[in-house]
Structure 1
Amino acid sequence: MLKKYDYLIVGAGLFGSVFAYEATRLGKKCLVIDRRNHIGGNVYCENIEGINVHKYGAHIFHTSNKRIWEYVNRFAEFNRYTNSPIANYKGEIYNLPFNMNTFNKLWGVFTPEEAKNKIEEQRREAGISEPKNLEEQAISLVGTDIYQKLIQGYTEKQWGRSAKELPAFIITRLPVRFTYDNNYFNDRYQGIPEGGYNVIVENMLEGIEVRLNTDFFKNREELEGLANKIVFTGMIDEFYNYKFGRLEYRSLRFEHEILDMDNYQGNAVVNYTDRETPFTRIIEHKHFEFGTQEKTVITREYPAEWVPGDEPYYPINDEKNNELYKQYKQLAEKEENIIFGGRLADYKYYDMHHVIYHALKTVEKEFNLEDKMV
């Protein structure tokens, strides 16, 4: 029996939207569904007081891949926003990423050589040769002072665990540079889409049927019967009804507040790195687009242990969970009519450019494209 759609795409985030856009361009008929009441997944923005509020945490687009940058610029104009977060440790303000401004404020050093010598001195004092956990890796990278003030409290809040219990690889993404450069990312391109991320996803899904407030698992049999293939971007363990057990995540809780002032903190992102402050950061959204509105909107971001029903944000990629994921991945690889992709289906933390890259590679593979997209 002929199906109504070529592809049922579960999830209207970036992965699902890119796939739907490209498949539609290739003449396929797609249905996109999402259990939320909006498209865009976690990059969704809500307009409050004329400000595009990043409802699920700060999203700054950055990439060194020219083709990915050109691709997203098809769907929106990007501004020149440069991510330069700052850290607040009990009222002391430090630049992030760790750079010469940070080292000067902390130690009074002026030259890269002085900063390197200070870090090396603290490494030796700590006696760490082969880092076995996050704490040891962090001290090896930046010394004890920075670890204790700017890493330990923030990280333990974020992950809900002692830094000694966390794997070393988590901290290796953290930039450390010996220049007076406050740009957090090393990537060649970065910015915020003018008008917010909704512009991108709306343009990708233009002309494509989308059903919101639609839970795949509550209507699974009916929905599976509509299409020849399924593109699934949700939690892979949920797809298989937790056959081998539940994968673990960290979640987030957001507390949004409208303030009757034009500028609350002078920066888009301020991290609170002490252990006692319950939130990890405050986001002031208007600064992403250089807003001049009379009011401002801030968001306090609280880390939380994930429980079923919460939004899963960060996969806990420790040995136990990675082994569990491998069992689900083996099932997924045997599927002929189901395509898995995205952060939850791959059980891997992705930045936005990674999601788009993997979606385009999936399109290449699915449609046997000889001209590589990325």
Structure 2
Amino acid sequence: MTDTGNKKYDYLVVGSGLFGATFTHEMMKAGKRCLVIDKRDHQGGNIHCKNIEGINVHWYGAHIFHTNDKMLWDYVNQFAEFNRYTNSPIANFKGELYNLPFNMNTFYKLWGTKTPEEARAEIARQIEHLEISEPKNLEEQAQKLVGTDIYEKLIKHYTEKQWGKKATELPAFIIKRLPVRFTYDNNYFNDKYQGIPIGGYNKIIEGLLQNCEVKLNVDFFDDIDHWKSMADKIVFTGKIDAYFNFQYGELEYRSLTYELEVHDTENYQGNAVMNFTDGETPYTRVYEHKHFEFGTQPKTVITKEYPVQETRNAEPYYPVNDEKNMAMLKKYQDLAEQEPNVIFGGRLAEYRYYDMHQVIASALAKSRNELKLSKT
């Protein structure tokens, strides 16, 4: 990268979430001048935590760090020590409780099966008449994986609430990676490394952005020309369609809203994550935040999570990666390629669902590539 000498910064980073913060950290280690701006009143994007009643509340829904990559695990452990939290959600269907992910404990509760052979035989018996060879939609994919009982009680209504569509209208790939185990194992993730940073995720972001200039309550789109004039290159982590003024239309997302409650009790539900899988309960999940860090505070804080259709005023969470949206994305990606001084990164700029470790890996890869380019 050639320094024109006229710009105050090498990089203007739009967004202080995990991608922006990781990219900035790597650039600053290399001696680059960075400015980070964020339209919110806090840094950290959706992993931001608020301390309420001495509890680190995951403000934008539960975030559980997990990875098989030791390099990434070591990377985040630079900034905070992680605890031994293991994600073992509970499914609540009209007051009946089941272990997740679907495993031998789930099968025993439903059918009384005690061996993997018995459980497999029961699933096969349930779907024999359906004659599903190549699943055409989410419903058929789920039935093929776990049978009709589990589909009806623990998947169908939950998924339809989450996506706002009938399961028969949703593509099969959404559920292809559904964890199904024929062992008595309630650990949701297969990854070797898993936990929550002790003291909350803010410690990670604070470590990544240490000594960096960060401006909050600043919307890039309020004065694009001004912000572009500040740096040689822009790292944009917002919505790619918004960057190009929605000229090809708006990419669809599902969003979430949250209802927070403080309860004057030490323990509300006995678990960090409970999924409500019936069709009548309007929310999909309830988080009890203290259990992420094995808290013993006298009060507790819970969050009820409600899925909604994303609008421009709602926070976009889950991209709707159907054919229509992916065709629109390709048009925006073509425009992005014509912007040599803009690096698009993160879930919104790339229109893809990322786990936290994947966001960090992507930011590290792009920062390494950028440092190579700057030396040529």
**TM-score of the two chains, using structure 1 as the length reference:** 0.98
Q: Which moved more, 1:124-133 or 1:268-277?
A: 124-133
- One-letter amino acid matched to 2:250: R
1:317 maps to 321
The separation in 2 between residues aligned to 1:178 and 1:265, in whole angstroms, is 27
The CA deviation at 1:334 is 2.3
1:332 maps to 336
Answering whether residue 243 of structure 2 is matched by residue 239 of structure 1, we say yes
2:142 maps to 138
- One-letter amino acid matched to 1:11: G
1:204 maps to 208
Root-mean-square deviation (CA, aligned residues, Å) is 0.8
1:372 maps to none
1:288 maps to 292
The separation in 1 between residues aligned to 2:127 and 2:192, in whole angstroms, is 31
1:298 maps to 302
**What does the per-residue CA deviation read over 1:229-276, in whole Å, with 9 as the maximum and x for residues that have no partner?**
000000000000001110000010000000000000000000000011
The CA deviation at 1:174 is 1.4
Residue of structure 2 aligned with 1:119, choices 123, 130, 148: 123
Residue of structure 2 aligned with 1:98, choices 74, 99, 102: 102
- One-letter amino acid matched to 1:149: K
- Runs of 5+ consecutive residues of structure 1 not aligned to the other structure: 370-374
Name segments (4+ residues, structure 1) moved above 3 Å: none
- The SS at the match of 2:71 is helix
Q: Which moved more, 1:171-180 or 1:96-105?
A: 171-180
The CA deviation at 1:117 is 0.9
The separation in 2 between residues aligned to 1:91 and 1:320, in whole angstroms, is 39
Residue of structure 2 aligned with 1:8, choices 8, 12, 15: 12
- One-letter amino acid matched to 1:232: F
1:38 maps to 42
The separation in 2 between residues aligned to 1:57 and 1:146, in whole angstroms, is 25
The separation in 1 between residues aligned to 2:6 and 2:121, in whole angstroms, is 70
Q: Which moved more, 1:121-130 or 1:156-165?
A: 121-130
**What does the per-residue CA deviation read over 1:54-109, in whole Å, with 9 as the maximum and x for residues that have no partner?**
00000000000110001000111000000000000000000000000000000110
- One-letter amino acid matched to 1:347: Y
- One-letter amino acid matched to 2:306: Y
The separation in 1 between residues aligned to 2:201 and 2:243, in whole angstroms, is 28
1:89 maps to 93
Q: Which moved more, 1:72-81 or 1:360-369?
A: 360-369
- One-letter amino acid matched to 2:279: R
The CA deviation at 1:335 is 1.7
- The SS at the match of 1:307 is coil
**What does the per-residue CA deviation read over 1:108-140, in whole Å, with 9 as the maximum and x for residues that have no partner?**
100001111111122222221110110010001
Residue of structure 2 aligned with 1:261, choices 240, 245, 265: 265
- One-letter amino acid matched to 1:120: A
1:54 maps to 58
The separation in 1 between residues aligned to 2:273 and 2:61, in whole angstroms, is 10
- Runs of 5+ consecutive residues of structure 2 not aligned to the other structure: none
The separation in 1 between residues aligned to 2:249 and 2:322, in whole angstroms, is 15
- One-letter amino acid matched to 2:301: V
- One-letter amino acid matched to 1:105: K
- One-letter amino acid matched to 1:30: C
Residue of structure 2 aligned with 1:177, choices 160, 175, 181: 181
2:31 maps to 27
Say how many residue pairs are matched. 369
Q: Which moved more, 1:172-181 or 1:76-85?
A: 172-181
The CA deviation at 1:173 is 2.4
The separation in 2 between residues aligned to 1:265 and 1:93, in whole angstroms, is 12
The separation in 2 between residues aligned to 1:351 and 1:231, in whole angstroms, is 20
The separation in 2 between residues aligned to 1:341 and 1:255, in whole angstroms, is 30
- One-letter amino acid matched to 1:335: E
Q: Which moved more, 1:124-133 or 1:90-99?
A: 124-133
- One-letter amino acid matched to 2:321: N
**What does the per-residue CA deviation read over 1:317-351, in whole Å, with 9 as the maximum and x for residues that have no partner?**
11110111011011112221000000000100000
Residue of structure 1 aligned with 2:170, choices 147, 166, 173: 166
The separation in 2 between residues aligned to 1:174 and 1:46, in whole angstroms, is 31
Residue of structure 2 aligned with 1:77, choices 72, 76, 81: 81
